[in-house]
Structure 1
Amino acid sequence: MKRGIRFIIPNKYGTFLSDLLSPIDISAFTWRIGDGESYKIIDHALGEDLFPVDKKVLTGKELAIYLKIPQYIIFADLKGYRGGRTENIETYERYLKSNCEFVLLVVDSCYVTIYCKNTAKLKLLHENARRLGFEELEYITDENDTSTSMTPW
């Protein structure tokens, strides 16, 4: 069974999070922003934190505002939930039992992992990553997924 996708993005600033999420309607989800290290780019330099440090849950419309800002991602942990209730999910088993539909993790600025429970949306995300030319794109399956953690740390 296909669980998600993984690939490598360029280690530079841009709007990669927006690009990665473009095939899905992010406004349909409530988003939990986990611990990470992501910055706004202002005048070609690192600025303040991309996401508010005092607010860990965003509506999809709020998230869309942040994703339009040029950014430099070092670590990111975004989880999309149906409905308003979110919880801290740290394992794949917990993810399966939760109302979390979508997990996006970025590690070391370029290693991206996306888990998605909806197989049609997962296919769209895969096609989008391929179209964007991201390297080492592959599906995560029951057979090749050695990760048990749903965090970038």
Structure 2
Amino acid sequence: MRRGITFKIPNEHGKILGDLLKPFNTETFHWYIGGEESYFIQNDTLGEALFHKEIYGMDGRVLKELLESYEYYIIFANFKAFPKEKDVIDVQTYEEFLNSDCQLVLLVVDCEYATVYGKDQVKLEALYHNAIRNGYVDVQYITNENDFRTRLSVS
């Protein structure tokens, strides 16, 4: 069974997460944002933090606007999508993810290593093909056999 995908994104500033999430209906969810380390780009340098703290329930329309309209640099990121009518929590393991209402997990580590877990296999396949179209490197499916991650977190 396909759990998710993993790949390398460019280690540069841009609208990378907005591009990465294009096939996913970001705006139709509420999001957990881990408040890790990401910055707006201002005058071609790192500016204010993209997220100042951990957020439980960021509206997907706000997140979509932020990720698709502004330039930023991602060092570490932890995003989790929940249906709007459900409680937003920070799931920590794959088992918690499976047993929760969380529909998608997006993790970025060290500026370039991206991992996406998803429950919807059609959306997961669309994200996989989108990653290839965007020129991301080493795009691979994560399966039960090759998933060595013990926590769905970047810290």
Runs ≥4 in structure 1, deviation > 6 angstroms? none
Distance 1:48 1:122 in 2: 32
TM-score by length of 2: 0.95
Match runs of 1:50-65 below 5 Å: 50-53=50-53, 55-65=55-65
8 Å Cα contact 1:79-1:104 kept in structure 2 = yes
| 1:111 paired residue number | 113
Which of 132, 135, 153 is the matching residue for 1:133? 135
Once the two structures are TM-superposed, the CA of residue 147 in structure 1 deviates from its matched residue by 0.7
| 1:80 paired residue number | 81
Once the two structures are TM-superposed, the CA of residue 55 in structure 1 deviates from its matched residue by 4.1
| 1:44 paired residue number | 44
Distance 1:33 1:54 in 2: 6
Question: Amino acid of the residue matched to residue 80 of structure 1?
Answer: A
| Structure 1 unaligned blocks of 5 or more | none
TM-score by length of 1: 0.96
| 1:22 paired residue number | 22
| 1:11 paired residue number | 11
Question: Amino acid of the residue matched to residue 51 of structure 1?
Answer: F
- The alignment partner of 2:103 has SS state of strand
Distance 2:52 2:21 in 1: 19
| Structure 2 unaligned blocks of 5 or more | none
8 Å Cα contact 1:77-1:152 kept in structure 2 = yes
How many residue pairs end up in the alignment? 153
Distance 1:86 1:121 in 2: 20
Once the two structures are TM-superposed, the CA of residue 124 in structure 1 deviates from its matched residue by 0.2
Identity of aligned residues (%): 43
Question: Amino acid of the residue matched to residue 36 of structure 2?
Answer: G
| 1:122 paired residue number | 124
8 Å Cα contact 2:35-2:52 kept in structure 1 = no
Larger CA deviation: 106-115 vs 77-86: 77-86
Quickly say closer, same or farther: Cα 1:95–1:55, change in 2 above 3 A: closer
- The alignment partner of 1:51 has SS state of coil
8 Å Cα contact 1:51-1:66 kept in structure 2 = no
